[in-house]
Structure 1
């Protein structure tokens, strides 16, 4: 494993959780409004999910749901959605998590529960949470969910580093979580972007390092 000399940053794998960000069908690379590179990193994302699931550590899938017309969307997306474009629409096929993300048999999203601020449990330690904006903690039950399970260390994977993962990393850091990112399991990474989040105290770890940490725990 990579040597982390700062004890304030080192992950505590026995009290860790995995957070996946926006790994939904409408955001896969070949979707009409998909994010380039997301399908390509999906195998690494699924592998990270499987590693945490096998270790019995919590996995939280944080997702977007845009109501028709875009009334609950970020301002930058309201114009597009107001034209009738449907993106991660509640109840749609595109809003579902990408193939391989959920345990079998995969549960459908409980859109009413999620939009109401609830937590959908889909496995012994696996959950889905809806976020109304970029960050995974903004007006969501995520912090309470993690705190109730004694989690102090978070590993992030998912869709589109410049937007939602980056905002979520900052929010996690602000809440004093120990934070790591798996670059091979995140779309739209760049050398500059990774250097910037590393400067915030985010550890950049490989999937092998994550597996080793979970095994040692």
Structure 2
């Protein structure tokens, strides 16, 4: 349940990019996009910052480590081939419906977290941001990875339940039920907008 949203709060939208939004997910990515656009409009009306995050993990150290399940290309030639194909398909591009504006904050991450090895924390600190509202895809990967680091930095976190989804329903539900309540508050898009309007 959302009890408050800080006066200095940023909306952080995770990986709403063509390649991710085109993957099979547990919930409709159209709904995630629709709710994200509602959040964007609400934050713009309050002149609060909006952070758009996309991911490009190609060649990142973690993608070259031994794992049991990997879809990441390994080796320079394979990475370059993947980069060319993904760029040609627009995989990394944010979906155009987001209507990104010049004053918005753009972050490209190469891991699960939008904070790791990016300037996000420093940018938010310069803006005196104390809270973040989080949404996007995938719940258990980019959203949870970012949330864990945000919690470690001491941000008040609000999770928008109906503006996120995952490739696996069980992973989505685990994040919502077991992880997020321990590091933030949860609510719907309508809850977030209603609380914002009271500020």
Match for 2:151 among 165, 169, 173? Answer: 173
- Runs of at least 5 residues in structure 2 that lack an aligned partner in the other structure: 64-69
Is contact 2:137–2:165 with CA below 8 Å preserved after alignment?
yes
State the secondary structure of the residue aligned to 1:150.
coil
Cα 1:53–1:191 change in 2 (3 A) is: same
Is contact 1:15–1:151 with CA below 8 Å preserved after alignment?
yes
Match for 2:38 among 24, 44, 47? Answer: 47
Q: Alpha-carbon deviation of 1:177?
A: 0.3
Partner of 2:92: 95
- TM-score (normalised: structure 1): 0.75
Coordinate RMSD, CA, aligned: 2.5
Match for 1:19 among 8, 12, 28? Answer: 12
Matches of 2:84 and 2:13, distance apart in 1: 19
Number of aligned residues: 184
Greater percentage in helix: 2
Is contact 1:87–1:95 with CA below 8 Å preserved after alignment?
no
Match for 2:116 among 126, 133, 138? Answer: 138
Q: Alpha-carbon deviation of 1:192?
A: 2.8
> Greater relative contact order: 1 or 2 (C-alpha under 8 angstroms, separation 6 or more)?
2
State the secondary structure of the residue aligned to 1:11.
coil
- Runs of at least 5 residues in structure 1 that lack an aligned partner in the other structure: 5-9, 104-121
Partner of 1:192: 174
